[in-house]
Amino acid sequence: MKYDTVIGLEVHCELKTKTKCFCGCKNNFGDEPNSNCCPVCLGFPGALPVLNKTAVEYAIMAGLAFNCSINNETVFERKNYFYPDLSKAYQISQLEKPLCVNGYVEINVNGTTKKIRLNRIHLEEDAGKLIHDGMGGTVVDYNRGGVPLIEIVTEPDIASADEAIAFLETLKNTIAYTGISDVKMEEGSLRCDVNLSVKPAGSNQLGTRTEMKNLNSFKAVFRAINYEQKRQIEEIEDGHEIVQETLRWDDALGESKSMRSKEDSQDYRYFPDPDLLPVYISNEEIAEIKSKLPILPNELKAKYVSYGLSDYDAGLLVETKNISDYFNEVLTHISNPKLVANFIINETMRKLKDDNTNKIDAKNLAELLLLIDKNEISSTAGKQVFEKMWETGKSAGELVEQLGLKQLNNDDEILKMVLEAISNFPQSVADYKNGKTSAIGFLVGQVMKNSKGKANPQKVSLMLKEELEK
């Protein structure tokens, strides 16, 4: 029996505003516990929330980046439940009239494109952090409490772990381009819950779904989906029913455990927050926000193609914002997109596979590439210098001097060596004149050897040809 897996994701993304969603406290990761807090985000008696304009604008930007409709009227509700990281015992969130509805994310898995539809993107506040104190207790830090989040909810269009990862990577990268979030899963600015069910292949009836939480990396999401998919299928084949429950993923053990039993189903008692006014957003304001949206991956890719890059190379460059930013910056110092793209794709990206930080800044790479571009060093020499630059942090100019890699461009000197080679290797000359055009390769090689690799190979080749044709 074959099964289809049906997956919906709920992704939470922290917005990089200066202040929290409902108060003027600093929105910052890693500060001393409870040092960025005030009566509002601490839930002190008498405190009141005041909505952050930039948080709303950023949420709208996310909606526009993913092709959503933006609601002109939007309302905030209270989601009531008790948990120590929730200082007011309610989270200010959105239910009936969220900021953004519908929309989609286009993903590419093994060459196939697929549209994953979005149900909504809404704005809400984050909860604080629970820290286990190592002695059987827990300590609460409310610094993160009140930080603005967007919640992105997909339709159950995702069919596999691969698709889920492709979705998350595309989502993460596109959001990075908007600038509204750091999207660092390891810092918690990007979080993902997975809703998964299985059904007999081709069937129209959806199975019972489970919800998985505590997925702290893309790898964990991948593993958890495969685990849960397998577990549900096994349960069904054993004749058991799937229990609708929330599961906590343990990445170290590679398994999930039930968090809440069916009986404890939460009644959040949503109602519009009486302390917050509904917000009106005009179509003009939406258009203005759209016009200020930074360039997104698709558009940027098209731009690169217009520079003369291949579709494939352009695609590689926009895949991560850091890379395209780097590419753009290098291009401000040297106007040879193909050369720059070549080096970044084949050299920089290759090194980054093993090394997390780009050891060569844009200006320095540009310096190296200018040397190649002006034929002052050969392309091969360039690669050598690149390696040394990565290792030592020294500049291209310095290293070229140090390694004596400066290309020989002087026509007279090259001519001298060309004539030498012609006189030293009459057999090759004769072969060439007799139609064996490839014999020139040997002669080029000899000149290169003679010049210790420094002669400009294109010039050598040209001059040899000229002399041989005489």
Partner 1 sequence: MDYTKLSILEVSKLLHDGSVTSEELTKQVLNNIKQKQNLHALTSVCEEYALKKAREVDALFKKGEKLPLLAGVPITIKDNINIKGLKTTCSSKFLENFVAPYSATIVEKLEQNYAVIVGKNNLDEFAMGSSTENSAFFTTPNPYNLEYVSGGSSGGSACAVAANLGFAGVGTDTGGSVRQPACLCGVVGLKPTYGLVSRYGIVAFASSLDQAGPLTKTVKDSAIMLNALTGYDEKEETSVKREKEDYLTSFSGSVKGIKIGLIKEIGSDGMDVEVKEKLESVIEFYKNQGAEFVELSVPFVNNALACYYILSSAEAASNLARFDGVKYGVSVFDAKNINDLYLKNRSNGFGKEVKRRIMLGNYVLSSGYYDAYYKKAKKVQKKLVEQFNKVFESCDVILTPTSPTPAFKIGEKANNPLSMYLSDVYTVPVNIAELPAISVPCGFNKMGLPIGFQLIGKKFSEKTLFNVADVYDSKNGEAK
Partner 2 sequence: MITEKDVKHIASLSKLEFNEAEIEGFVSDLNNIVDYVNTLAKVNTDDVKEISNLTPLKELRKDEIKQSLSQEEAIMNAPKQKDGGFSVPKVV
Provide the binding-site residues for partner 1, judged by CB under 8 A.
39, 42-51, 78, 80, 82, 84, 87-90, 140, 267, 269-271, 274-277
Stretch that binds partner 2, among 29-37, 154-162, 425-433, 442-450 (CB under 8 A): 29-37
Residue 267 CA neighbour count, 13 Å, CB half: 2
Q: Which ranges of 207-254 would DSSP assign to H, the alpha helix? A: 218-237
The answer to whether 38 contacts partner 2 (rule: CB under 8 A) is yes
DSSP state of 406: P
The answer to whether 215 contacts partner 2 (rule: CB under 8 A) is no
Given a contact cutoff of 8 angstroms between Cβ atoms, the answer to whether 271 and 280 are in contact is no
Q: Which one of partner 2, partner 1, none interacts with residue 120, CB within 5 to 8 A by kind?
A: none
Q: Which one of partner 1, partner 2, none interacts with residue 270, CB within 5 to 8 A by kind?
A: partner 1
450 phi, psi to nearest 5 deg: -60, -40
- Which of 108, 115, 130, 200 binds partner 2 (CB under 8 A)? It is 130
Q: Is the dihedral of CA 58, 61, 67, 68 positive or negative?
A: positive
Number of C-beta neighbours around residue 345 at 10 A: 17
The answer to whether 56 contacts partner 2 (rule: CB under 8 A) is yes
The answer to whether 101 contacts partner 2 (rule: CB under 8 A) is no
Q: Which one of partner 2, partner 1, none interacts with residue 54, CB within 5 to 8 A by kind?
A: partner 2
Shorter beta-carbon distance to partner 2: residue 87 or 210: 87
The answer to whether 99 contacts partner 2 (rule: CB under 8 A) is no
Query: In Å, how far from its chain's centre is CA 353?
Result: 14
* Tokens coding 26: 């600093």
User: Binders of partner 2: how many residues, by CB under 8 A?
Assistant: 52
The answer to whether 17 contacts partner 2 (rule: CB under 8 A) is yes
The answer to whether 82 contacts partner 2 (rule: CB under 8 A) is yes
The answer to whether 95 contacts partner 2 (rule: CB under 8 A) is no
DSSP state of 360: S
Q: Which one of partner 1, partner 2, none interacts with residue 93, CB within 5 to 8 A by kind?
A: none
Shorter beta-carbon distance to partner 2: residue 91 or 229: 91
Stretch that binds partner 2, among 114-122, 134-142, 234-242, 438-446 (CB under 8 A): 134-142
CA distance 126 to 121: 15
Type of residue found at 239: G
Question: How many degrees, rounded to 5, is the angle at CA 115 between CA 119 and CA 74?
Answer: 25
Shorter beta-carbon distance to partner 1: residue 128 or 457: 128
Burial 321-338 (b: 16+ CB within 10 A, else e): bebbebbbebbeebebbe
The answer to whether 132 contacts partner 2 (rule: CB under 8 A) is yes
Shorter beta-carbon distance to partner 2: residue 134 or 426: 134
**Got the DSSP string for 14-26?**
E---SB-SSS-SB
Shorter beta-carbon distance to partner 1: residue 48 or 403: 48
Q: Which one of partner 2, partner 1, none interacts with residue 35, CB within 5 to 8 A by kind?
A: partner 2
Q: Quick one: which of 413, 170, 200 has its CA closest to 315?
A: 170
CA distance 8 to 209: 10
Shorter beta-carbon distance to partner 2: residue 30 or 202: 30
The answer to whether 35 contacts partner 2 (rule: CB under 8 A) is yes
The answer to whether 403 contacts partner 2 (rule: CB under 8 A) is no
CA distance 235 to 354: 41
Shorter beta-carbon distance to partner 2: residue 84 or 254: 84
- Element spanning 198, H or E: strand 190-200
Shorter beta-carbon distance to partner 1: residue 271 or 312: 271
- Match 């685990």 to its residue by tokens: 227
Distances (CA, A) of 98 to 153, 173, 224: 11, 23, 29
Site for partner 2, rule CB under 8 A: 17-19, 23-26, 32-39, 42, 50-57, 73, 75, 82-84, 97, 130-133, 136-142, 248, 259, 267, 269, 277-282, 285
